[in-house]
């Protein structure tokens, strides 16, 4: 199985309500104009989304992505 942001996004994009936010964070993290501290927070959130070991395993129906969504919500609240 492929790992990383794009393979995971292809597998789950239709099942997660924060897919647009994840894509926006990915694009901003790659933008040279984004400040380093914001990039670091974005990359940490993206890494948490991609890593197979997180607080709630993504294979659990209905709750598997809630921790990932919480990470993205916190990130967006902090960086705007």
Give CA angle at 31 (30, 32), nearest 5°.
110
Q: pLDDT digits over 26-69, tens only?
A: 999 999 999 999 999 999 999 999 887 776 777 776 678 888 89
Provide mean pLDDT across the span 12-23. Answer: 92
Domain boundaries, the chain: 5-79
Residue 29 CA to residue 41 CA, distance in Å, equals: 9
Write down the pLDDT at residue 53: 75
- pLDDT-derived band of residue 2, with 50, 70 and 90 as boundaries? confident
């Amino acid at each position: 199985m492929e790992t990383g942001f794009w393979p995971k996004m292809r597998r789950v994009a239709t099942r997660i309500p924060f897919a647009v936010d994840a894509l926006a964070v990915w694009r901003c993290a790659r933008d040279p104009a984004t400040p380093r501290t914001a990039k670091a927070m974005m990359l940490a959130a993206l890494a948490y989304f991609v890593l197979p070991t997180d607080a709630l395993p993504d294979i659990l129906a209905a709750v598997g992505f809630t921790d990932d969504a919480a990470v993205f919500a916190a990130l967006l609240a902090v960086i705007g």
